């Protein structure tokens, strides 16, 4: 006979403001099998949990229903409390009265009725729960880090310094990411490469880090602690073991006029190239799309000049299979490209550039060696206009969010321009200045007050060319929407940061969630900002939402700690919510008839064939058997089974059926 | 007589729609009280006999919702659910069950507002269609037939 305890939480006023918690508890006390039913202000608090533990002991409860928030929030808390109270943790269920009831409905009888219904279903479910024990699984203490930008670098170094092995993969020929492209960083104006390149070298030399550049994730299988990742190492056409990085091939390559990705199209690179001089590893890559040999079948100049015979034209992509226990995704962000701003003439006028292109112009390693020169004629611009929020906070453009970093880098750009071009005039058009961060507001004030950058609050409607000048038409909303027209030599757009183009595909490979903008979704917006919904996979940096460098670095270190915590255990426990095939006494052995439809339904190849033999070894019956190590508990096999022989623990036919029936009998 | 309040049951997966409905709550977006959510690990787990049984027991409308195609936490459970839904839909039609009463949808963990929308539209549709008693009558009839031998 079941002895169920119901515990209704007020959640301060979060639930009790719209649901009559007392009535819920009173009604529940009348249900068959319910021997204890109370309401309390904060069930998750220490006294609240003690209430549950005490009731389990005093009333000898066989099942507990906690009517509170979402099980995705506090199920582990209450299951742990039950365990401490002497009850199997899987004999506890939660009725979601907060997220699914009190927060989404107005105060009234209907809301309380719904709450009562939800509690009743869980009472019926928990009566049919079975005590279960966690499954122990081993942990592979190697982490896979995807993306070699500053977040990926930081997280790799931190994990490696904890003494664990790290495999870092980067899709480009060098690690460094967007940070390596930056000239100087806000709010200190220290040189980006000077602080980044030592870290890059550290990654390359760290004994615990294996670095694969020009490599992407091909596929991922497995689960927390036990992933198998396939990495596609794209053919560099260079033997990495033989190459010394002398750079002769890059200087002798006859195809020299390919727009450089690193310089955002403002400079050129050869077909065999190292993205930038400080690249790690310092090994060139042949760009097969632009290389004369791959197009016309002859040239091979690089092969002739290479002193170590490292050029391998017929090199093929290599698939590397690695076993890892945890994954950190740090793939960063992308930037909106030309066709996005027809009204600003981007792509039409060469002197309308993006913020990232300005970074390259201002960078000492850039195409102009740090001098601010117009891309069109190489002249130094006397008047420059910066347009903030180019794309961001613009629902019409499909980007209603704030890109967060633009206010700061625009102030930095204007400041750098004023430092580099004496007597130059810079104007910033902005919507709001969002400079929340340590020393950020002070930095913007410095740009305005010390470096005399003119800030105009208003939007720009159009940029067009007239007599060799770029006319910027805007409005000054602080002067009563007065129209403003500026003749500029150059215009810089603070373009919106967006998710990487491949983000969706990668999320699908990893089975992690992503939001409407294709940024990866965290498990909880406040309390689990680093974990994803998939156990063992963390996110770091701008792939989760646009972040600046300090935030990316802190998030990366956070992700490293999460990985280190995971690796500090020799065994992990997994929820035993997996499928099982029923077994019974001879002569039936199981109701399974061996049709193996479940095998075709299983996405994890977890269904095996079990042969039941008699004493003489004669085969009596072949039935399905679930491999508990592979089963992830989706339950697709359960819905497929024709004879109802397979069931999933925690969501059995019996539990679910009675849950629904309890709902409908009185609903 | 008070206005007809439809009974709507939602069968949802744990990873996308349940989490999406959580987000609706966290974002304090209001929706109709008529819906009751039943959690499954995956839409692939949902046994469509439960839908039939729900109609027999007097439910007026049903929502089935999981992860968007390709986004399934378990790789392909939602595809299996969709495949089965396509077959099941024809069967329902054949048996005379009004398929307008079953709303099949995808709601991701980030689509809190969409969940409220799905619930509200379904409830409105069902309210217009009125109470569903046809199948209930049939089910009762068969039960009596069987019990009378």
Helix (H, G, I), strand (E, B), or coil: what is residue A562?
helix
Number of domains in chain B: 1
User: Fold match between A235-315 and A579-648?
Assistant: yes
CB atoms within 10 A of CB A539: 30
- Comparing CB atoms, the residue among B75, B84, B116 nearest residue A603 is B75
pLDDT(B146) > 70: no
| DSSP code of residue A275 | S
Q: What is the dihedral of CA A532, A535, A539, A544, to 10 degrees?
A: -10
Tell me if chain A has a CB within 8 Å of the CB of B138: no
What are the pLDDT digits (tens) for A145-196? 999 999 999 999 999 999 999 999 999 999 999 999 999 999 999 999 999 9
Residue B93 domain boundaries: 8-147
What span, in angstroms and rounded, lies between the C-alpha atoms of A33 and A3? 5
Chain B residues with CB under 8 Å of A525 CB are: 26
pLDDT(A338) > 70: no
State chain A's mean pLDDT as an integer: 94
In a domain, B3, yes or no: no
CA A13 to chain centre: 33
- Which of the four pLDDT bands, split at 50, 70 and 90, describes residue A523? confident
State the alpha helices, DSSP H only, in A511-652. Answer: 549-567, 597-601, 636-640
CA-nearest residue of chain A to B81?
Answer: A636
pLDDT(A654) > 80: yes
Segment A40-65 shows an average pLDDT of: 96
- Which of the four pLDDT bands, split at 50, 70 and 90, describes residue A526? confident
Within 10-49 of B, beta carbons closer than 8 Å to A belong to 14-16, 18-19, 21-22, 24-26, 28-31, 33, 36-42, 44-48
Order of all β-strands in the sheet with B8-13: B35-40, B8-13, B61-66, B102-106
Q: What pLDDT does A14 receive? A: 95
Helix H or strand E segment including B78: helix B77-95
Q: What pLDDT does B95 receive? A: 84
Question: What's the ipTM?
Answer: 0.92
User: Which superfamily is assigned to A335-498 in CATH?
Assistant: FAD/NAD(P)-binding domain (3.50.50.60)
Q: B45 and A648 in contact by Cβ < 8 A? A: yes
Helix H or strand E segment including A57: helix A46-59
Q: What pLDDT does B73 receive? A: 87
Q: Which of A116-120, A221-225, A235-239, B2-6 has the lowest mean pLDDT?
A: B2-6
Within 558-597 of A, beta carbons closer than 8 Å to B belong to 577
State chain B's mean pLDDT as an integer: 89
**Topology classification of domain A579-648:** Alpha-Beta Plaits (3.30.70)
pLDDT(B140) > 90: no
What are the pLDDT digits (tens) for A222-255? 889 999 999 999 999 999 999 999 999 999 999 9
DSSP string computed for A590-601: -S-----HHHHH
* CATH number of the CATH domain containing B87: 3.40.50
What span, in angstroms and rounded, lies between the C-alpha atoms of B94 and B117? 29
What is the nearest CA distance from A536 to chain B, expressed in angstroms?
13
Q: B36 and A117 in contact by Cβ < 8 A? A: yes
In a domain, B76, yes or no: yes
What are the pLDDT digits (tens) for A252-282? 999 999 999 999 999 999 999 999 999 999 9
CA A615 to chain centre: 55
CB A507 within 8 A of CB A520: yes
Strand-pair category, A184-185 with A190-191: antiparallel
- Which of the four pLDDT bands, split at 50, 70 and 90, describes residue B2? low
What is the nearest CA distance from B17 to chain A, expressed in angstroms?
12
Helix (H, G, I), strand (E, B), or coil: what is residue B110?
coil
Tell me if chain A has a CB within 8 Å of the CB of B65: no
Domain A235-315 coded CATH 3.30.70: yes
Segment B130-138 shows an average pLDDT of: 81
pLDDT(B1) > 60: no
Report the b/e string of B26-45 with b at 16+ CB within 10 A: beebebbbbbbbbbbbbbbb
pLDDT(A503) > 70: yes
What are the pLDDT digits (tens) for B105-130? 999 998 999 999 999 999 999 999 99
Q: What pLDDT does B141 receive? A: 67
Tell me if chain B has a CB within 8 Å of the CB of A369: no
Tell me if chain B has a CB within 8 Å of the CB of A105: yes
What span, in angstroms and rounded, lies between the C-alpha atoms of A311 and A242? 9
Q: What pLDDT does A652 receive? A: 94
Pick one of 3.40.30.10, 3.40.640.10, 3.30.910.20, 3.50.50.60 as the CATH number of A135-234+317-332+500-572: 3.50.50.60
Could you state, in order of their start, the residue ranges of all structural domains in chain A?
A: 4-132, 135-234+317-332+500-572, 235-315, 335-498, 579-648
Q: B31 and A104 in contact by Cβ < 8 A? A: yes
Q: What pLDDT does B144 receive? A: 63
In a domain, B120, yes or no: yes
In a domain, B132, yes or no: yes
- Which of the four pLDDT bands, split at 50, 70 and 90, describes residue A564? very high
Strands (E), A224-340: 226-233, 258-259, 268-269, 272-273, 285-286, 318-324, 326-329, 333-335
- Comparing CB atoms, the residue among B9, B25, B84 nearest residue A99 is B25
CA-nearest residue of chain A to B82?
Answer: A636
Residue A101, CA distances (Å) to A248, A439, B133 in order: 69, 43, 27
Q: What pLDDT does A624 receive? A: 95
CB A103 within 8 A of CB A17: no
- Give me A225's structure tokens: 């602690």
CA A392 to chain centre: 20
pLDDT(B142) > 50: yes
- Give me B104's structure tokens: 């099949």
Tell me if chain A has a CB within 8 Å of the CB of B84: yes
Q: What pLDDT does B103 receive? A: 95
β-bridge partners, A320: A231
List of residues 6+ apart from A190 with CB closer than 8 A: A184
CB A3 within 8 A of CB A62: yes
CA-nearest residue of chain B to A99?
Answer: B25
Of B16, B24, B41, which is closest to residue A515 (Cα–Cα)?
B16
Tell me if chain B has a CB within 8 Å of the CB of A533: yes
CB B7 within 8 A of CB B34: yes
Residue B113, CA distances (Å) to A601, B14, B109 in order: 32, 17, 10
CB A663 within 8 A of CB A117: yes
- CATH architecture of the domain A4-132 equals 3-Layer(aba) Sandwich (3.40)
Helix H or strand E segment including B115: helix B112-129
Segment A59-63 shows an average pLDDT of: 96
Between CA A527 and CA A538, with CA A532 as vertex, the angle to 5 degrees is: 95
List of residues 6+ apart from A144 with CB closer than 8 A: A166, A167, A169, A227, A229, A322, A324, A326, A327, A328
């Amino acid at each position: 006979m079941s002895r169920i305890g119901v515990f209704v939480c007020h959640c301060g006023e979060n639930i009790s403001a719209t649901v009559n918690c007392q009535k819920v508890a009173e009604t529940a006390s009348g249900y068959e099998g319910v021997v204890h039913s109370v309401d309390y202000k904060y069930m998750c608090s220490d006294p609240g949990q003690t209430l549950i533990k005490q009731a389990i002991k005093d009333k000898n409860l066989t099942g507990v229903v906690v009517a509170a928030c979402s099980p995705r929030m506090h199920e582990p808390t209450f299951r742990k409390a039950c365990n401490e109270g002497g009850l199997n943790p899987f004999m506890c269920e939660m009725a979601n009265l907060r997220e699914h009831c009190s927060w989404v409905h107005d105060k009234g009888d209907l809301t309380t009725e719904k709450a009562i219904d939800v509690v009743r279903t869980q009472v019926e479910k928990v009566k049919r729960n079975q005590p279960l024990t966690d499954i122990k699984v081993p942990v592979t203490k190697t982490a896979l880090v995807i993306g070699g930008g500053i977040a990926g670098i930081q997280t790799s170094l931190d994990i490696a310094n904890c003494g664990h092995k790290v495999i870092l993969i980067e899709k480009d020929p060098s690690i460094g990411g967007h940070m390596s492209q930056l000239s100087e960083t806000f709010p200190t104006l220290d040189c980006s490469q000077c602080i980044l390149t030592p870290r890059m070298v550290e990654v390359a030399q760290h004994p615990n880090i294996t670095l694969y550049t020009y490599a992407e994730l091909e596929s991922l299988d497995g689960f927390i602690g036990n992933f198998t990742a396939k990495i596609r190492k794209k053919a560099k056409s260079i033997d990495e073991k033989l190459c010394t990085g002398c750079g002769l091939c890059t200087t002798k390559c006859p195809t020299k006029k390919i727009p450089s990705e690193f310089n955002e199209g403002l400079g050129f690179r050869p077909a065999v190239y190292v993205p930038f001089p400080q690249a790690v590893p310092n090994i060139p890559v042949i760009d097969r799309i632009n290389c004369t040999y791959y197009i016309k079948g002859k040239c091979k100049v690089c092969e002739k000049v290479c002193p170590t015979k490292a050029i391998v034209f017929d090199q093929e992509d290599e698939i590397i299979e690695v076993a890892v226990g945890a994954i950190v995704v740090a793939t960063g962000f992308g930037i909106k490209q030309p066709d996005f701003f027809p009204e600003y003439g981007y792509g039409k006028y060469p002197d309308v550039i993006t913020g990232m292109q300005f970074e390259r112009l201002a960078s000492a390693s850039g195409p102009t060696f740090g001098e601010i020169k117009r891309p069109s004629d190489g002249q130094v611009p006397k008047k420059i206009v910066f347009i903030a929020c180019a794309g961001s906070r613009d629902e019409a453009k499909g980007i209603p969010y704030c890109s967060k970093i633009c206010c700061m880098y625009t102030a930095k750009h204007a400041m750098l321009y004023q430092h580099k071009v004496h007597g130059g005039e810079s104007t910033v058009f902005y919507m709001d200045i969002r400079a929340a961060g340590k020393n950020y507001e002070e930095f913007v004030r410095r740009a305005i007050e010390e470096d005399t950058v003119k800030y105009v609050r208003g939007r720009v409607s159009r940029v067009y060319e007239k007599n060799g000048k770029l006319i910027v038409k805007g409005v000054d909303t602080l002067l009563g929407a007065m129209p403003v027209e500026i003749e500029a030599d150059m215009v810089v757009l603070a373009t919106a940061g967006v998710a990487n183009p491949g983000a969706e595909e990668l999320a699908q490979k990893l089975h992690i969630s992503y939001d409407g903008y294709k940024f990866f979704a965290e498990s909880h917006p406040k309390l689990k900002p680093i974990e994803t919904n998939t156990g063992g996979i963390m996110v770091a940096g701008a792939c989760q939402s646009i972040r600046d460098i300090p935030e990316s670095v802190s998030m990366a270190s956070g992700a490293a700690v999460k990985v280190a915590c995971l690796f500090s255990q020799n065994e992990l426990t997994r929820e035993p919510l997996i499928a099982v095939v029923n077994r019974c006494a001879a002569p039936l052995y199981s109701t399974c008839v061996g049709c193996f439809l479940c095998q075709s339904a299983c996405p994890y190849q977890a269904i095996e064939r079990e042969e039941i033999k008699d004493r003489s070894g004669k085969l009596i019956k072949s039935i399905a058997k679930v491999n508990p190590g592979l089963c992830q508990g989706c339950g697709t096999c359960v819905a497929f089974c024709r004879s109802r022989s397979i069931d999933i623990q925690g969501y059995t036919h019996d539990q679910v059926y009675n849950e629904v029936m309890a709902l409908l009998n009185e609903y | 007589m008070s206005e007809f309040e439809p009974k709507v049951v939602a069968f949802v997966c744990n990873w996308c729609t349940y989490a999406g409905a959580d987000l609706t709550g966290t974002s304090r977006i209001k929706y109709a009280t008529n819906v009751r959510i039943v959690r499954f690990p995956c839409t692939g787990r949902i046994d469509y006999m439960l839908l039939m049984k729900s109609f027999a027991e007097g439910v007026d409308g049903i929502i089935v919702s999981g992860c968007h195609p390709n986004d399934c936490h378990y790789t392909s459970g939602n595809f299996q659910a969709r495949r089965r839904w396509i077959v099941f839909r024809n069967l329902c039609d054949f048996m005379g069950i009004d398929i307008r009463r079953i709303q099949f949808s995808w709601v991701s963990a980030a689509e809190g507002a969409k969940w409220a929308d799905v619930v509200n539209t379904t409830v409105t549709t069902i309210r217009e269609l009125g109470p569903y008693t046809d199948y209930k009558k049939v089910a009762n009839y068969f039960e009596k037939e069987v019990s009378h031998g």
